[in-house]
Structure 1
Amino acid sequence: MELPFSLLLLFLSFSTCLHLSHARGGQRSSLPSGFENGGYAGSTRHLFKESRSHIGNDVARGYMTNSDLEKAVKAFGRRCSNISRIYSIGKSVNGIPLWVIEISDKPGEQEAEPAFKYIGNVHGDEPAASIVENVHLHILPSMNPDGFSLRRRGNANNVDLNRDFPDQFFPLNDDVDMRQPETRAIMNWLRDIHFTASASLHGGALVANYPWDGTEDKRTNYFGCPDDETFRFMASIYSHSHYNMSSSKEFQGGITNGASWYPIYGGMQDWNYIHGGCFELTLEISDNKWPSANELPTLWEYNKMSMLNLVASLLKTGVHGRIFSSDTGRPVLGSITVKGINHTVKAGRTFADYHRLLAPGGRYEVMATVPGYKSRSTGIWLEEAAMTLDFVLDPEVTLKGFLCFLFRRRIKNNNLSKHRQLVGPKRPVVVSNA
């Protein structure tokens, strides 16, 4: 069963809550500068360093039923109500709610910040302050509660949920209504929230897996996605922050390309990247799919820094910013592309904020594109720290751009007219020489 990994996500929730209380007292920390991270040595020094945590007695030390898990999620919501929100993204085949914990300094509010999601219990038979203040962290402890109850890999319909997503090579049916309810819930969730990155927790191996998960010819070969270097960097963040994942004898550096390991189709990881612009890893965090209950605290200690550092990497690496219009000064919806990388990241709908993950230590040409505006590109050298890069775009002097300008002007005039009707005509300013 994957329920042990559901418990790790609860441990992460409580740990983040505890980290917040410490950090509010002014404590900040980072990894030692000598921390080795394979090809990205030193890149994690801006992240969290190891600290011994003691999970309180109110956090489960053994296995939970679905009912126990729901109670624990709601108890966390009550305990940390100032930084959390509990909500459901849907129900399983048997009607069990798929509860999510959102952790943020402003839970439930839209902000110009990246969003990260952790997903546990995908398969039923495989049982801190800077984050809170600058990231919206969403935790789904159990995606497949029915499979856990039935002690099997698939859901109540015996469907493997990690083979149920639309696939780029074999799209049998892209209709969301044809998917399992748990799959539909994930797909709708990604459409509702603009996630930057994600990770799902699995058991049966010890490795951080990254796209692509399949190949067009179904052969077992390395097949990297357009952001292969960035994904390898993210996977290395997890493996080198882990107690012993990076020392794996089977997987060099504790990471693997999915298609190079064994191809799968209809997986959640590739679908996230293609359809949501969300950088997702598949984390195999235990060779034993069903570790004993007394092993869970050790499993947590081995993985806690990896889980925190993976989220923290959203803040410490990559390019972040917003897109504005030069004529109005307002944010405008657009997209970000990087020369040489065939992948588009869309800006957020409310603030036009973008969060483009990129491996550090390289030169990139970043371009912002908005319909009706002149695109603008900027060359950057991305150091080991994150970069803020806002774009201000000029309207195009074309028929399309002119029509967009007239449309925006009309809306502005209508709003001004409504305002004048409410406050009355503007009184003239009289200048007296007396």
Structure 2
Amino acid sequence: MPAGISLLWICAMIPYVITLEFKHHSAKDLESFLQRVHTSWPSITNLYSIGKSIEGVDLWVLAIGKDPKVHTVGTPEVKYIGNIHGDELVGREMLLHLIEHLVENYGKDPTITKIINSTRIHIMPSVNPDGYAMTDLENQCLSSSTGRYNKAGSDLNRNFPDYLQENKLPLQPETEAVINWILNETFVLSLSLHGGALVASYPYDNFKGDVNKQGYSKCPDDDVFIHLAKNFSYNHAGMFYGDECEGIPTFTDGITNGADWYPFEGGMQDFNYLVGQCFELTIELSCCKNPAASELETFWNESHNSLLSFFQLVHLGVKGQVLYSDGKPIENATVKVQGRDNINPFRTNQKGEYYRLLLPGNYTLEVTVPKGHSQSVKVEVFDKEPNLSALVVNFNFSITDGPSTTETYQGSNIAGIVEQNIILLIFSVLFSFIHF
């Protein structure tokens, strides 16, 4: 083979190295970048669109993972969303640079490699491309502009169904696309990136029933959300100070309950938690909503540690499957944590899976299958798992839905290490119906 041809063949075998410029990227630039990434790293990426904006622009998502095209049992799904307000530009650009950082360091950086191998990541840089197109990129630091809204003049972060108070606004196509996406994936953890402040906000954004109520709106998993928010804030270069933006309230530890800051209806964050069983934070990344392109690299340096470390939090708590004794998954079984009265109980997906983010501690899980039979189990959740895997607790119901049992699990390495014949022997001795 001639030397020149040989060199070309070798170069073709090496993934294309992408150097993403710190600038504001148009919809065409964004799509071109995502296509190049997928072409260069096809084994760990999958590029897909969840729908179109009013102007017909694709709402692109890049999935990154060991099995990027399909959900794998036991692998939690995480999503990062940017630019729901079209004139809030920093999050959009940070997500493009995050994509570049992840794919180029896969197989090189041990932590990033472990994250990608244990998690399916979905990154959507812009949910409001029409608003972005209407934004004056040179008119910096406006408090608000027409670009905030979609082409129909709707604030997409006020457009989601609200289960705390009725939201009568007609759904926009971008909102419908995100809703369908949430309901058809098994998302466990999520970030929505905004601008205009520097703070990590968590549910609830609204109050149940009382439109005039003010103050802290506490959800059943308040402790988990505070932990998630502090993790992001403390890993950020300045967010944890809580007082970085002029004219914005001081936030202790750089975090806030959404309603305690200001309540509103129809937020994506509450919808994720109440309907999608997904713990979402709203992250305000910059005091200025639309800063100059020359400042974007500084924002990346300040926030990339937070964006990377947050992925690992999807492995907190407990996960598992609810199955019949013949191995058939049980869909729509409720999984309740004693003492946490969720408005909509967490339920298993089509593969019988559940994921439940919990902090270290002792809990009682109660699983009820559609025919009404239930099992309860006491579990001890330990601190962050070194192998990025939550405590695995599976539930096994007989075909005839036998009597309920209660048992205690400790640790996270029990599941999956005992063979079926040993389990059956334990069943016969202990008269229990626990399946690891």
Q: Same fold (TM over 0.5)?
A: yes
1:140 to 124, 137, 140: 124
CA positional deviation for 1:284: 0.5
Judge conservation of contact 2:167–2:266 (CA < 8 Å) in 1.
no
Residue 227 (structure 1) aligned with residue 221 (structure 2):
yes
CA positional deviation for 1:332: 2.1
Match in the other structure for 2:359? 359
CA positional deviation for 1:160: 0.5
Letter in structure 1 aligned against 2:79: K
Q: Which is worse superposed, 288-297 or 135-144? A: 288-297
Residue 96 (structure 1) aligned with residue 60 (structure 2):
no
Judge conservation of contact 2:205–2:264 (CA < 8 Å) in 1.
yes
Match in the other structure for 1:170? 165
CA positional deviation for 1:247: 1.9
CA positional deviation for 1:168: 2.2
Judge conservation of contact 2:78–2:311 (CA < 8 Å) in 1.
yes
CA positional deviation for 1:148: 0.7
Match in the other structure for 1:158? 153
TM-score by structure 1 length? 0.74
Judge conservation of contact 1:372–1:395 (CA < 8 Å) in 2.
no
Match in the other structure for 2:6? none
Match in the other structure for 2:238? 244
- What is the CA–CA distance in structure 2 between the aligned matches of 1:108 and 1:179, rounded to whole Å? 28
Judge conservation of contact 2:193–2:283 (CA < 8 Å) in 1.
yes
CA positional deviation for 1:296: 1.2
Match in the other structure for 2:171? 179
Residue 281 (structure 1) aligned with residue 285 (structure 2):
no
Match in the other structure for 1:124? 86
Letter in structure 2 aligned against 1:194: T
CA positional deviation for 1:57: 6.0
CA positional deviation for 1:396: 4.8
Judge conservation of contact 2:79–2:187 (CA < 8 Å) in 1.
yes
Encode CA deviations 1:55-87: one digit per residue, 9 max, x unaligned.
x76212111111111111111111111100000
CA positional deviation for 1:125: 1.5
Rate the CA distance shift 1:169–1:232 in 2: closer, same or farther, 3 A.
same
Match in the other structure for 1:431? none
Q: Which is worse superposed, 388-397 or 102-111? A: 388-397
Letter in structure 2 aligned against 1:218: N
Judge conservation of contact 2:200–2:229 (CA < 8 Å) in 1.
yes
2:31 to 65, 70, 90: 70
Secondary structure of 1:196 counterpart: strand
Query: What is the total number of aligned residue pairs between the two structures?
Result: 337
CA positional deviation for 1:202: 0.1
Identity %: 39
Match in the other structure for 2:191? 199
CA positional deviation for 1:172: 3.8
Secondary structure of 1:221 counterpart: coil
**What stretches of structure 1 move > 3 A for 4+ residues in a row?**
394-398
Letter in structure 2 aligned against 1:142: S
- What is the CA–CA distance in structure 2 between the aligned matches of 1:264 and 1:373, rounded to whole Å? 37
- What is the CA–CA distance in structure 2 between the aligned matches of 1:285 and 1:130, rounded to whole Å? 26
**Larger proportion of helix:** 1
- What is the CA–CA distance in structure 1 between the aligned matches of 2:285 and 2:237, rounded to whole Å? 11
- What is the CA–CA distance in structure 1 between the aligned matches of 2:311 and 2:63, rounded to whole Å? 13
Alignment map for 1:254-403 (pairs within 5 Å): 254-315=254-315, 317-326=316-325, 328-333=326-331, 334-343=333-342, 344-350=345-351, 352-360=352-360, 362-372=361-371, 374-385=373-384, 386-396=390-400
Secondary structure of 1:72 counterpart: helix
CA positional deviation for 1:330: 3.1
2:206 to 203, 211, 214: 214
- What is the CA–CA distance in structure 2 between the aligned matches of 1:305 and 1:218, rounded to whole Å? 38
Ranges in structure 1 where 5+ consecutive residues have no aligned partner? 1-20, 22-55, 399-434
Judge conservation of contact 1:372–1:396 (CA < 8 Å) in 2.
no
Judge conservation of contact 2:196–2:288 (CA < 8 Å) in 1.
yes
Secondary structure of 1:364 counterpart: strand
CA positional deviation for 1:173: 3.8
Judge conservation of contact 2:54–2:151 (CA < 8 Å) in 1.
yes
Letter in structure 2 aligned against 1:153: R
